[in-house]
Chains A and B, each alone.
Chain A
Amino acid sequence: MIDMFRFEDIIKAFYIAKKDIKEYYLKPPTISWGIVFPVAFTLAFILRGGHHTQEIIPGLIALALFFGTTSMAAASIVFERKIGSFERLLLFPVSYTGIALGKTLSSFMFGMVSLFATLVVVLPFILNVPAYSFFLVAVLILSALMFSAFGVFISFLIRDPTNTMMIFNSIRLPMIFLCGVFIPVSSLPLPLRLIAFLLPLTYSVEATKFAINGNYDVIPPIESILSMLIITILLILLTSIKIRRIIP
């Protein structure tokens, strides 16, 4: 079965995203894991941060975005596969890449909502800082796209929907400690540092740090941006291959 991506698939991807927004944005797991949890931990760390607050804010923003986007992907894809409505998408005249892009876009848009909620909490602490605000916007948009593509890809790997959040959290939570959110990547032992370079959150944290504080730990901002772009495209393509393989 040949899968050819056409221009009209981009429009159809937006229709899929619009449908997902109507269908899943108010679902309890999406709200709790995608908005309440990131806002709560951001607030908790800021309140306890003291003079380190400024240093951890970039990591917290990236992390909140990561939780927001991936929660939406998990809710929409795993639920649809469980009740059989995902097969409807396979019946429409749209390529598998178009479906992967549509699911990524719906998570991306939810990530923006989640980001807004987090920014409301951290805004007082970064008001007089962002020297690179355009860069910050670009980094956050690209991060949201990359995390969405990551969440969508992982969602298609999950077979049993009852394990969704357990699997997602067992991937997400270790990243908090490996990707430079609280502990700089440069201070990690070499094996863990190598793992950090394989994780998408690392590039987002590094770029966000540069955008907000004007410095980075180990990855220069341009490299972070390029890496995020490549990872995003790669994940969308891998997802389309995975969708094709779902067909028995």
Chain B
Amino acid sequence: MSTAAVPNPPGGSLTPAQRRLAADPRITADWTRRQTAETNLRALVGRAYPRVRGMFREPSWVIFEILLPFLGTSAYVMVYRALKAPEEYVGFVVLGGALSAFWLNVVWSMAGQLYWEKSQGNLELYFAAPMSLMSVLLGMAAGGLAMSSTRAAAVLVISASVFGVQFDVQEWWLVGVVFLLTLTALYGLGMMMASLFLLWGREAWHLTNVMVEPVYFVSGLNFPVGRLGAIGVAAIATIPFAVGLDAMRQLAFPHSDLLVGTPPPGIEALILVAMTVVFTGASRWCMTTIERMARSRGSLSIRWQ
């Protein structure tokens, strides 16, 4: 632990470690842009760490995050097959089941996270640290992504093999782009919701419940969203899960005549870009506003407010 103050070289440039141990706090406090950026990046990795570590440390998630969703997906597959529905429906359900991992993660592990961090006392320490709070949000998102991607991949592979789903992907690059854009839009929304939940407090939990089943329905989790008509179009315009899922279905089953009433995947990719920009920008604005309000009201560290 022993540390010794470093004499300051006259006019010399200091490494972050030297700066930290400089003989004058005014030098320690004077960070370069690079140091600030590096700290934000490190904070992102640091905040993602508990989520990734927890994934390996608590293997029970395999049951809750893979087995149970697989059973849910299986039930719809059975229903469609019993009704002798076109085989594409099985593919739609499998894709929906895989992508729902991300939505659940956004709703349960992103949206309520800052509120939980506040009740644990972590939030105060985050605010008091020199990194940007966006790093914390991005770290939460990155950690959540790692977990959800594993679940999504597992559900997709298992379901596709068990039910013999044949995907007919012809534009792999666009699938990749749409998938990434879906994730950025989804987690952008998650970051924004995390800020809003913090602002609204306990009432936010009711919102969480509203955001699962109703969103599944209007997003067409187990059926093509275009079948909902105007509601489906509205969902495509506002919910990243809905637009991402529809675009992935269109790309996985390009010749299906069941996917009607929604824009083509290219347009939906642009919608996802717009959503990413709006949600991420809004989350940044929310965090700044919340910090300002918290400092002014004193509600930042008061657990019961």
Q: Do A and B bind each other?
A: no
**B residues adjacent to A (C-beta < 8 A):** none
